[in-house]
Every structure is written in C-alpha cells, then in structure tokens.
Amino acid sequence: MNRTRAVQSQTKTPPILSVRDLRTTFHTHRGRLVAVDGVDLDLYPGEVLGVVGESGSGKSVTLRSLVRLIRPPGVVEGRVEWQGRDLLAMSEDELREIRGAEISMIFQEPISALNPVLSVGEQIRETLREHRNLGQRALDEAAVELLEMVGIPSARQRLNSYAHQFSGGMRQRVMIAIALASHPQLLLADEPTTALDVTIQDQILKLILRLKDQLGMSVILVTHDLGVVAQTCDRVAVMYAGRIVEVASVKDIFYQPRHAYTLGLLNSVPSGGTNRQPLLPIRGAPPDLMALPPGCPFAPRCTFATDECRATRPPLVPVDYHHLSACIHHDELARPREVTS
C-alpha cells in the first residue's frame, strides 16, 4: 500500500469528511456521561484511517455518532461535514438518503447485526431496494454478484441461507456485501475482524482493501489491534477517554509516537523475531468517564506525568508535519524508536 497517499491527499485534496467538536453524551441515573468529548478529525479521498484505543475509549460510539446511530438518551452535537453537507443538521429523511447509500457501516458483531429470521439474500435485497432502482430479477442478480464479490462460494444457492448457517468469517463477508450494496463512498468498519482467527482476519482485511481500491472508497477502521493498523491503514487517530490524543501517519505512530498513551500501547504489544523483550503494560485501568481526573485524563497512568499534566488538559495541536498530539511531553517522545518486526 502507498503510505504517502494520506499526506499527498492532505496537501492536494480537501477532506471528504470533516468532523469538528463531535460530542456524544448520555444522561444516566448517575448523571451526564460524555462518551465522545470534542473529537476533531479529517478523512481524505481513498484513505484508510485507523481509530485505535483501549475498550471504552469511545471508538465505536464515535463511528456511530458520525451517522447519527445514537438513540436517546444519547445526544450527538458538533459538526460532521460530508462533502459540504452537515450530517448532524439534516432531517432523518435527508440522512436516510446518505446512510447506507453514500456511507455504509460494518458492525462489530455480524451475528447480532444480521436479522436471524430473514435470509441473507433478502437482507441484501432490502438495501438494494432502498438505494438502487432495480427490478426483481436485477435485484437477485445484484445480490448474487455482491456475494461473489466478497468471496462466498455457491453464491446463488447461499442467497436463501440464514445467518446461523454461515461461519463467523462468512457472516462478516455477508455484512460487507450488504454494506457495499449501494456502492458507498465511505465505509465505516467497527472492528470487523473481532473474534475471528488470524487466517480469516487476514482474508477479511485484504478483502476490504481490495474492494476499497476497486470501488474507490475511503475507510474508517475502528480496531484495538495495532497489527491490523500496520497492515491496513494510512493514518491513525489514537483515542483515550473519549478524546483523540494523537493523529499521525502509520509510520510516525509506530516509529515516533508523540503521546505517552500511544507509547504505552506500543510497549504493550509483543515484539516479533528472536530479540524478545518483556512487555511493559500500561499500569492501572481506563478512567471512569463520569469521574475524569482534572488535566490530562491519562496522567494517573502516565510515567511522564507532572503537576502541569494534572492541572491542565492539553489541547490537540500540531507537533510536526501532519502530526498532532495532546501531550505536554511530546518533545521527550520525539526521538525515533527502534521497532522489531
């Protein structure tokens, strides 16, 4: 993959998606919970943007918030500009014309997302009916074509199968087929390889990348697996406690992280090769989103933390060419890291 594509896009082409001050809150019996706290990000045409972080960091909620799949008591605020149109300001009818047509989503658990009482063929045809003007025969042929595109054997016969009759990897392929039915320009993938073995995971990732190039899509890929990021993404946004704390190219994230949390994630990953090193896990646990500490939310777990970190929340600012960080000590982290492959 051409890892310079993201930088080239930023210098020559405006973003296809621009998110500003995205904030998602839930009103609970304990009070107001801020799950996504002022997220800013840009996505460029043809780019794969990875969103990483520990469980509970706000990755999946951010993805769902982009297309307003958050239901009450959740509230989504901010601006999500898709090709010059603010998705958060649209009516539900206007948004329905975009959601599933121009922007599609692959959900984390296909067995939960797929309807157990409808055949997979009918679920694909539902999407085709909604967004493409096709007759019945054309619907059937398009559904077969989509299943063949994602690598499901005997596609015509499998149209009448149900979700429970597929393996986990094949169910994920069905989800991808449904997501691609309307030839979207943006694919939101929420941990599409979770719970799959490494062989199937590799097949699914290669499939997404092949279809991205074939259909000319952009992709936002949510994952907690840094190996997946290295294999598939052009740029990475690192999330912690509902906030983006670092954004950079894959190369810079792996070799020159500029946030202590990113460094902690990298040090927690086993290294390959014969030169084995002990793991350095991040101490403690992610914070309670309803009781965030003052200042930097990572400070209680950070080995670089100072009184300044505990007093002031660092903003996400440029620290290098197309490299953003929300860490006071980003200069201390600037020296290149040696990564064993």
pLDDT digits (tens, 9 = 90+) for 268-291: 887 766 667 777 889 999 999 998
Cα–Cα distance for residue pair 324/95, rounded to 1 Å: 31
Q: How confident is the model at residue 197 (pLDDT cuts 50, 70, 90)?
A: confident
**Over the chain, what is the mean pLDDT?**
88
> What is the structure's pLDDT at 78?
97
Residue 135 has pLDDT above 50, yes or no: yes
Q: How many residues are given for the chain?
A: 341
Q: Burial-class residue 104 by CB neighbours within 10 Å (0-12, 13-18, 19+).
A: buried
Q: Helices 120-131 & 168-179, crossing angle to 10 degrees?
A: 10
Following CA atoms 103, 109, 112, 116 in sequence, which dihedral angle do they give, to the nearest 10 degrees?
Answer: 90
Closest listed residue to residue 119, CA positions, set 174, 76, 167, 65: 174
Which is more confidently placed, 337 or 12?
Answer: 12
Domain ranges within the chain, ordered by starting residue:
1-102+184-341, 115-180
> What is the structure's pLDDT at 335?
60
Residue 3 has pLDDT above 70, yes or no: no
pLDDT digits (tens, 9 = 90+) for 314-334: 999 999 888 999 999 998 887
Residue type, 105: M
Kindly state the tokens that stand for 198. 């490494």
Helix or strand holding residue 120 (H, E): helix 120-131
Cα–Cα distance for residue pair 301/96, rounded to 1 Å: 42
> What is the structure's pLDDT at 4?
38
For tokens 């002022």, the residue is 38
CATH superfamily name and code, 1-102+184-341: P-loop containing nucleotide triphosphate hydrolases (3.40.50.300)
> What is the structure's pLDDT at 224?
87
> What is the structure's pLDDT at 6?
43
